[in-house]
Amino acid sequence: PWKIEPEVDRFLQELRGRVQIGVVGGSDYSKIAEQLGEVVDKFDYVFAENGTVQYKNGRLVAKQAIQDHLGEELLQDLINFCLNYMALLKLPKKRGTFIEFRNGMLNISPIGRSCTLEERIEFSELDKKERIREKFVAALQREFAGKGLRFSRGDGGCSLCVCSSKWRLLAGCGFSKETLLMLSLFFAPLQGGNDYEIYDDPRTVGHSVQSPQDTVQRCREIFFPERANEC
């Protein structure tokens, strides 16, 4: 799995000496920590599982669960529909963990989240040609219209995400537009993907970047203008 590069890690800690920093992710805390280290010690804020699990200054301050919000009947209807839909898909490969249950959402993967990196890339290329996830999202939108659900393609290339349309990542956290600086660490957020909504939200200042090094450079330009020319 991807892990933060040491020089990026060091820069973020230096940045924390100048401004408060936070990390936002769709994964649970353990997955975020696997990639970034013990983030509650490194970041002032941590928003895991689409912001439904929130840490501030190393302490868990809020937690919401999608099953409590949607109710068991709608949740089971959703899961059953997804399983039936995926059972009819013929793909080059299928692996395991087709539905991953998280506090803030369901992560649905037609190929299965236990696929290898090579299998994930193979599926992603096929998805670009045949729009597998796009069609899946459209089917869900038709089936569950008016049910208070939001569907989007996952940014990882092998899944799609389902959450409540009444929830918004970082909603209710008391941040102003000036304090929300959305930096995509890997790529320009895919329009229609689950990160794009934050990037495009009027309360955030979105910056499209191409790599972790590009992110560091943008942060230098914004927060360390006297060092903007450093490599």
d(CA 146, CA 7): 47
Q: Is 201 annotated as a binding residue?
A: yes
Tell me the per-residue pLDDT of 189-208, one tens digit each, with 9 for 90 and over: 555 555 666 677 676 677 77
Same domain, 60 and 126: no
- DSSP per-residue letters across 126-137: HHHHH-HHHHHH
Same domain, 37 and 84: no
Domain stop point among 113, 129, 164? 164
Q: Is 203 annotated as a binding residue?
A: no
Q: Is 116 annotated as a binding residue?
A: no
Tell me the per-residue pLDDT of 43-70, one tens digit each, with 9 for 90 and over: 888 888 877 888 888 888 888 888 888 8
d(CA 57, CA 65): 22
Same domain, 113 and 137: yes
Same domain, 157 and 86: yes
81 falls within a domain: yes
Yes or no: say if 75 and 21 are a contact pair by the CB < 8 Å rule: no
d(CA 231, CA 228): 8
Q: Is 29 annotated as a binding residue?
A: no
Same domain, 99 and 146: yes
Same domain, 72 and 160: yes
Domain housing 110 = 67-164
Comparing CA positions, the residue from 66, 65, 64, 21 lying closest to residue 46 is 21
Same domain, 10 and 94: no
Same domain, 39 and 82: no
Same domain, 44 and 96: no
Check residue 190 and give its pLDDT: 55
Comparing CA positions, the residue from 108, 198, 94, 101 lying closest to residue 144 is 108
Q: Is 120 annotated as a binding residue?
A: yes
Same domain, 60 and 71: no
1 falls within a domain: no
Q: Kindly state the average pLDDT of the residues 129-156.
A: 92
Q: Is 199 annotated as a binding residue?
A: yes
Q: Is 3 helix (H, G, I), strand (E, B) or coil?
A: coil
CATH number at residue 117: 3.30.1240.20
Q: What token pair was written down for 55?
A: 């840490």
Q: Count of domains in the chain? A: 2
Q: Kindly state the average pLDDT of the residues 60-87.
A: 91
Q: Is 152 annotated as a binding residue?
A: no
Check residue 175 and give its pLDDT: 42
Domain stop point among 164, 187, 219? 164
The helix or strand, by DSSP H or E, that contains position 151, with its residue range, turns out to be strand 149-153
Tell me the per-residue pLDDT of 203-218, one tens digit each, with 9 for 90 and over: 667 777 778 888 888 8
Same domain, 101 and 172: no
Yes or no: say if 137 and 177 are a contact pair by the CB < 8 Å rule: no
Same domain, 153 and 180: no
